[in-house]
């Protein structure tokens, strides 16, 4: 049973800021209508410049993430440069499309910063959509989308993008029964590094969101 855990719902978002890409996700893993885990990992580092969020089958996602990490290392060894988010997402799209008759039940948001910030959605059938502002996946998409549509601004700072991502996930946690968990996971990708925010740092942004909502 543990190896066959399936997330039937989640909320993950990606936001392009002026100097960074921000990925955020809830941390509840569900098995049917059971809230199976409260601290599930949903954001994965692929390289020092690229990470992704996953929604769907945990087992399928983990297999594909291993493929991607191996492909990224091979690319960098062969070409002596970092693989770009677009190249990595294209490889993922090809793998998913080749298996469309017996699909991997997983959806991804690929975010990275190689030369420039990039954000790409990849569906279980290999559809690839490059986003210029933000991307979403999971059962809480419509709730998070309302927040992002309303509050997103071009050339946001890294801090503004983090706050907006936390606000979007928080809104979904309140209303979508399949989005939850003990906290919100946030990863920030810049030209130099990938940083995962601590629970205290995320809580600081969550307090800002709640303070503004109560005004």
> Active-site residues: which are they?
10
Q: Return the bridge partners of 13, or none.
A: 24, 136
* Residue 87 backbone dihedrals phi, psi, to 5 degrees: -65, -40
* SS3 state of residue 5: coil
DSSP string, 60-124: HHHHHHHHHHHHHHHHHHHHSSPPPHHHHHHHHHHHHHHTTTS---EEEEEEEEESEEEEEEE-T
Among 176, 173, 175, CA closest to 206: 173
CB-facing half-sphere around the CA of 144: CA atoms within 13 A = 29
């Amino acid at each position: 049973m543990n190896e066959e855990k399936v997330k039937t719902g989640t909320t993950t978002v990606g936001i392009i800021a002026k100097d960074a890409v921000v990925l955020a996700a809830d941390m509840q893993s569900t098995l049917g209508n059971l809230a199976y885990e409260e601290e599930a990992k949903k954001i994965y580092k692929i390289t020092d410049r690229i990470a992704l969020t996953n929604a769907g089958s945990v087992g399928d996602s983990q297999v594909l993430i291993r493929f991607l990490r191996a492909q990224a290392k091979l690319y960098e060894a062969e070409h002596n440069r970092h693989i770009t988010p677009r190249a990595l997402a294209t490889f993922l799209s090809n793998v998913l499309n080749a298996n469309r008759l017996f699909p991997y039940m997983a959806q991804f948001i690929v975010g990275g910063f190689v030369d420039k910030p990039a954000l790409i959605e990849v569906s279980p059938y290999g559809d690839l959509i490059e986003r210029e502002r933000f991307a979403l996946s999971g059962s809480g998409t419509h709730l998070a989308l309302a927040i992002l549509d309303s509050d997103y601004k071009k050339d946001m700072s890294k801090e503004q993008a983090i706050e907006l991502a936390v606000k979007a996930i928080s809104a979904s946690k309140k209303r979508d029964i399949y989005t939850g968990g003990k906290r919100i996971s946030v990863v920030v990708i810049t030209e130099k590094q990938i940083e995962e925010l601590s629970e205290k740092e995320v809580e600081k942004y969550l307090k800002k969101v709640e303070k503004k909502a109560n005004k």
